Chain A
């Protein structure tokens, strides 16, 4: 069965420090991959997406993600976090054919400390 795993439920980072959020997928073929961010009580906003080509993807708000086929991973990174980055982050995967459903990970909650 297709699945997306985010192994870290909660991460705490100091403001100004670097960040890496992990995401692993289990699919029959390489899916399209996404990172979304959600502030409390809000909808999801797309940070970045990978569908083909360059394995390092740049997104909004200074985020980037690297696709590694050999590790079935799509980790999200930011060199220096800001207090406003505190939120929940979701990794998702899907195919652009057939039923076109997305499978979401369970999310990683990011806390920023001063």
Chain B
């Protein structure tokens, strides 16, 4: 089955440590996204990538970093510079064909990060 996998589902880290969240898709999608979700704030875009080896900052990129070395993978690193990293993180992907009926983002199951 095609889809998006995120691992781990739950992640606990000590304050000051960097942590990397995994996102893999086998949908052959070009574009991938990382969102942060906090209660009552909806989804906020952290980073996105429309093609391999290229990515752009979203609305809340400070304290985060990403890489896109392979089409199917888009890992997110939460660095120690992120002041309040405890949140639910969602990865998404979509085709970039330009055909409007294909314009939707598919989401992974999420990773809940708790910083102690």
Closest to A107 in B: B42
Residues of chain A within 8 A of B50, CB atoms compared:
100
Does residue A44 face the partner (Cβ distance < 8 Å to B)? yes
Let me know if A104 and B42 touch, CB within 8 A: yes
Let me know if B42 and A100 touch, CB within 8 A: no
CA distance A10 to B56 in the complex (A): 34
Report how many residues on chain B are interfacial, defined by Cβ distance under 8 Å.
Answer: 30
Let me know if A32 and B100 touch, CB within 8 A: yes
Give residues of chain A (1-53) contacting chain B, Cβ–Cβ below 8 Å: 9, 32, 34, 36, 41-46, 49, 51-52
Give residues of chain B (35-53) contacting chain A, Cβ–Cβ below 8 Å: 35, 40-45, 48, 50
Q: What 0/1 readout, one digit per residue, does chain A (67-99) give for beta carbons within 8 Å of chain B? A: 000000000000000000000001010101001
Residues of chain B within 8 A of A92, CB atoms compared:
43
Residues of B within 8 A of A (CB): 4, 31, 35, 40-45, 48, 50, 56, 58, 88, 90, 92, 94, 96, 98, 100-101, 103-110, 112
